[in-house]
Amino acid sequence: MAGVEIGVDVRVHVRCIRDQTKPAADALPVTRVALSWEATTMPGIFPAMLAEFSARPFSTDRTELSIEGSYWLPLGHVGNVIDATVGHRIAESAVGRLLADLVVEILDELPAPAASATVHPR
């Protein structure tokens, strides 16, 4: 924000992975990964988060990825004031970056596409 970069290393915990399908016969499967993370140093002054990452086939050549969750604020009233002014934007940006990093990691793990295939990261 305004040329100031705030960063902290976090430890990500994978809580569980599950595959789900909807009751309808034509429903596509969804893979859900429950995650949590916290700062590796001084976790008492940084928010902690619990989230769920989901991957679902969108079409034959596209996959929809999403992440949603909640975070807990440290520092009581001071943490609430920081969150109300800038903290929530920092949290949204961090989650967006995590999702973008996950896309890069997933694409790196995929086999090289055939010459006629195209990968469309979003």
Q: Could you give the number of structural domains in the chain?
A: 1
Paired with 39 in beta bridges are 10
Using a 10 angstrom Cβ sphere, with 0-12 exposed, 13-18 middle and 19 or more buried, the burial of residue 118 is: exposed
- Residue 68 belongs to some domain of the structure: yes
- Residue 83 belongs to some domain of the structure: yes
**pLDDT tens digit string along 61-109?**
788 888 888 887 777 777 777 767 766 677 777 778 878 888 888 888 8
Q: Which domain holds residue 79?
A: 10-109
- Report the predicted TM-score, pTM, of the whole model to 2 decimal places: 0.65
- Residue 81 belongs to some domain of the structure: yes
**pLDDT tens digit string along 2-24?**
555 667 788 889 999 998 876 66
- Residue 20 belongs to some domain of the structure: yes
Tally Cβ neighbours within 10 Å of residue 53.
Answer: 19
- Residue 120 belongs to some domain of the structure: no
- Residue 119 belongs to some domain of the structure: no
Paired with 12 in beta bridges are 37
- Residue 43 belongs to some domain of the structure: yes
3-state secondary structure 41-72: CCHHHCCEEEEEEEEEEEECCEEEEEEEEEEE
